Amino acid sequence: MNDLLLRALRSEPVPRPPVWYMRQAGRYLPEYHTVRNSLPGFLALCRSPKDAAEVTLQPLRRFKLDASIVFNDILVPPAAMGMDLEFIKGKGPVFHDPIRDPSDMKRLKMPTVAGDMPHVLDTIAILTEQLDVPLFGFAGAPFTLAAYMIEGGGSRDFLHVKRFMWQHPKAFQELLTRLADICGIYLQAQIDAGCAAVQLFDTWAGALDPTAYRRFALPAARRALANVTGAPRLYFTKDSSCFLPWLKETGADAFAIDWRTDMLRARHVLGDTPVMGNLDPGALQGPPELIRTKVRKIIQQAGPTGHIFNLGHGVGPTTPIDGVHAMVDAVREWDWNKL
């Protein structure tokens, strides 16, 4: 087993940072489309352990990566709670029955992983038999899940969730608490099934002002992670720069840093806590030498211990494969022992 990632998460000396990247299995790979197009929909792919394992393995066949992440979607738990989820081409995820009033929460059930989301455990079982690198499990953080459930999908301004949050703060807190408990159970189940680390994605928490983040999103993330043991726990939020001083309050063991956050500042604020990131995914559209220069700068800023190289958000569907190769090769060429 390649344990470079786990050593970096323990802040042990490593010759170079381990490298993997968010959404590394997905739409930018032609072989992904072959699998995806053979199935009736995106959720069908997520719920087919054989196919989900296949697309999980695809990027590792192309690139020399130091970790994998199980192919799934953060919205699987809300669907398991009874919400009507559909992925629509050109639009993305849509909940046809969004939560717009506290009374809507009465129809949400408390799911079990084995009973309502068994596919992710079956996918992990397939992968752990084949992988020689650590496998990440993941979940959407409570606030981010609530945002999708209330908005009914993605959003530019998140007005529905903010209206619900401020008009019905008690009910909103109840929803976050329920989601936090589900997320914690879900992450723990993935560790118990064989994942070597887990990540909590709070993608939309950056839509909040600092006061709202500390009141709602942060305590919910902390509650979710508090019940997860046995493997490193990472936390990611996009647009996290203004939240850096409070990230440690989540209780996470390491933090994924978005590309808008300066790595030097993140290191200064977070101290010795391991960090992951944080190349702008858009930089992969550039020429190889530009990518190498950006990669080297991030590695130098992050320092020789406690750093995992990654993008500052997920790889985009139009990303050139040559750009990914340039990034991965630049990380693998690095050698702290020769500096």
- Give catalytic status of residue 296 as yes or no: no
DSSP per-residue codes, 70-83: ----TTHHHHHTT-
- Give catalytic status of residue 73 as yes or no: yes
Q: How far is CA 30 from CA 25, 36, 303, 317, in A?
A: 11, 10, 35, 10
CA 124 to the chain's CA centroid:
16
Structural contact between residues 140 and 203, judged by C-beta atoms closer than 8 angstroms: yes
> Using CA atoms, how far apart are residues 218 and 77, in angstroms rounded to an integer?
19
Cβ neighbours of 40 (radius 10 Å): 7
Element (H, E) at 118: helix 118-128
* Choice among 3, 7, 10, 36 that is catalytic: 36
> Using CA atoms, how far apart are residues 318 and 59, in angstroms rounded to an integer?
15
* Choice among 3, 7, 10, 27 that is catalytic: 27
Alpha-carbon torsion (186, 192, 195, 199), positive or negative: positive
> Using CA atoms, how far apart are residues 268 and 288, in angstroms rounded to an integer?
29
Q: How many helices (H) and strands (E) does the chain have?
A: 15, 9
Structural contact between residues 270 and 255, judged by C-beta atoms closer than 8 angstroms: yes
* Choice among 28, 148, 186, 235 that is catalytic: 148
Q: How far is CA 122 from CA 72, 85, 129, 182, in A?
A: 12, 21, 11, 19
Tokens 């990027």 correspond to what residue? 59
- Give catalytic status of residue 148 as yes or no: yes
> Using CA atoms, how far apart are residues 331 and 310, in angstroms rounded to an integer?
10
> Using CA atoms, how far apart are residues 20 and 37, in angstroms rounded to an integer?
25
- Give catalytic status of residue 213 as yes or no: no
* Choice among 16, 23, 223, 233 that is catalytic: 23
* Choice among 51, 73, 202, 253 that is catalytic: 73
Hey, is 94 helix, strand or coil? strand
**Which two tokens mark 329?**
């090769």
> Using CA atoms, how far apart are residues 235 and 247, in angstroms rounded to an integer?
8
Q: What amino acid positions are annotated as catalytic residues?
A: 23, 27, 36, 73, 148
